[in-house]
Amino acid sequence: MTARPPVKRIRVEEGAEAYSQTSAILRRLNGIPTEHVGPLQPRQGLGTLDPDKETLRLLPFQGEFLKPCPGTNEYICCGYQILHTGTNCPLDCSYCILQAYFNQPELRVFVNLETKLDQIGDHLDRNSEKLFRIGTGEFADSLALEPAVGWNKIFFPFLSKRMNAVLELKTKTVEVDGLLSSPWRERIIVSWSLNSHFIAAREEKGAPSVRKRLEAARRCQDEGFVVGFHFDPLIEHRGWEDAYRKTVDVLDDLIDPKGVIWVSLGCLRYMPLLKRVIRKRHPGSHILDREFILGFDGKMRYFKPIRIAMYAFMSKILSQWHDDLGVYLCMESDEIWQRSLGWSPENSEGLSRYLDQRAAKVFGMTY
């Protein structure tokens, strides 16, 4: 049976008591000390605080629950839509951008999302000619808190009525029991963030090993789910070619490539502020030892030749595994696409069409 998340205390923020999701979570986490609190005031200075990954805060969210992925005009973006379920993650990856992106700690779950689903559904229905690729893994791991929050019981029935939407759940965990016990499979993608065994062991604190992640992916495949994979961030380290090849070897050992909808590639990049946070919170990390330059999006990136070499190598070994994996680059320029993969969607609209077509093909949709 799946273990409960490593939560030691629960804080129910003022106003959260009114929502059924709060009651459901408290039932699942019965016995954990709970207190009722007022709203947490934002602190000054991003990335300067203890993230407090042992406290679960339940609160209503007043912003937009469905929003486009925050891309940039300087690089090709995939046209993803984020379903905003909460922020922060119980895992503690050294490179995680959330360390510098939010200035409020704790594992924050937005308990009023269920009451906004009709509004989101109306938006999808009014744009029935458009395919929505929706994901919950941008600001939090999609499945790390699933045993407590049970989002699948809410999202899957909602999605089953929307023929123009697919839902992608991105994770580094093995928390799939809730998914496997549900009756829904259609238009649901379960995706895993992968890395080399070396990086997973040294830089992804709290995350299961690469093999355990892929064993969970295999369980999902065996039970009828479509799966995806994200090599993001690719991190340059000694022997990286052999190290990433070994990860692909495990994919070959465990995963049916015909059931893979897409594989994304993205090299390590970070906001300049994150460097200080990594040095402070992860003093044993070596991911910053390489040389970086400031990209057009204001993030630090590897030099172009390094990125091109890593993408070209990954594309080569993935194509040796299977020749139709839907490989694409995350937040890169047309030039990098051409020089590493030998083709380019040219712009964000082109990449969005490419991924829409992948989804339509896999799920038998017309877009």
pLDDT attached to residue 264: 98
pLDDT attached to residue 3: 57
CATH 3.80.30.30 at 9-363, yes or no? yes
pLDDT attached to residue 1: 41
pLDDT attached to residue 100: 83
pLDDT attached to residue 46: 52
Write down the domain spans for the chain: 9-363
Q: Exposed (0-12), middle (13-18) or buried (19+): which is 73, by Cβ within 10 Å?
A: exposed
Distance of CA 8 to the CA centre of its chain: 24
pLDDT attached to residue 74: 87
Could you report the average pLDDT of every consecutive run of 10 residues in the chain (367 residues)? Answer: 75 97 97 95 62 95 91 90 95 93 89 95 95 95 96 94 96 97 96 98 98 98 98 97 98 98 98 93 95 95 98 98 98 97 97 97 87
pLDDT attached to residue 33: 97
pTM of this structure: 0.95
